[in-house]
Amino acid sequence: MGSKEESAEWPLGKPGGILLTILFLPSILAIFVKTYGFNFLPSNDWASKAALPALVIGLVSAALPFWLILKSRHEIDGVKKGFGLIIAPAAGYFLGKDLVVVALPLLFALIAGHQVELSFTVVDADDRGGSRCRTPVQVEGVPMIFDEICRVPDDVRRELGPGRRIAVAGRGTSLGVFAESLRVID
């Protein structure tokens, strides 16, 4: 005579839930790091090498919530289920992809980082930015959301334009860097 909540089990069970949480925590950490104003950039080299594994993990991460919603034993009304079937796979894809391309290099930079300098190509340095990222410099080849260096002084930004090469220095590894400074590469 268990209640409805007791009889409805999650298809992957408790170990599966713990595993998914552990897998997605680094991606969520990377988003929080960016949200709270830390400028982390994965290297262009890493982003290109990790593109295929990131795509595969992103697609698996998108399919899993879709499957879980369809497999759910308890009734979900049509609107909630439809909303979940659209939003959950998109969120799963981006969290899975960011796990490979952004979160892993970020964790390596936090744990084993040292002073490094990585090069990037500027896409835009004229944007005024928003409330979370003032005076940004946008770089090429880095995933969306993580493609901006915030709070770059205007005198430095005046020297930059699309296609200009910059060296970004800070704590990191060859996989990515927490931007502390940048300079123009001639």
pLDDT tens digits, one per residue of 64-99: 777 776 666 566 666 666 666 777 788 888 888 888
> What are the pLDDT digits (tens) for 123-161?
998 877 777 788 889 999 888 888 889 889 988 898 898
Q: How far is CA 167 from the centre of its chain?
A: 21
Residue 155 lies in a domain: yes
* Domain end marker among 111, 128, 144: 111
What pLDDT does residue 99 have?
Answer: 86
Judgement on whether residues 163 and 122 belong to the same structural domain of the protein = yes
Report helix, strand or coil for 148.
strand
Residue 163 has pLDDT above 50, yes or no: yes
| Domains identified in the chain, total number | 2
Q: How far apart are CA 123 and CA 139, in angstroms?
A: 5
Residues 143 and 66 in one domain: no
* Last-in-domain residue among 91, 111, 131: 111
Mark whether 50 and 75 lie in a shared domain: yes
Cα–Cα distance list, 29 to 113, 139, 143, 155 (Å): 17, 22, 16, 32
Both 118 and 173 in one domain: the answer is yes
- pTM for the complete prediction? 0.76
Distance CA 132, CA 153 (A): 15
Domain of 150 in residue numbering reads as: 112-184
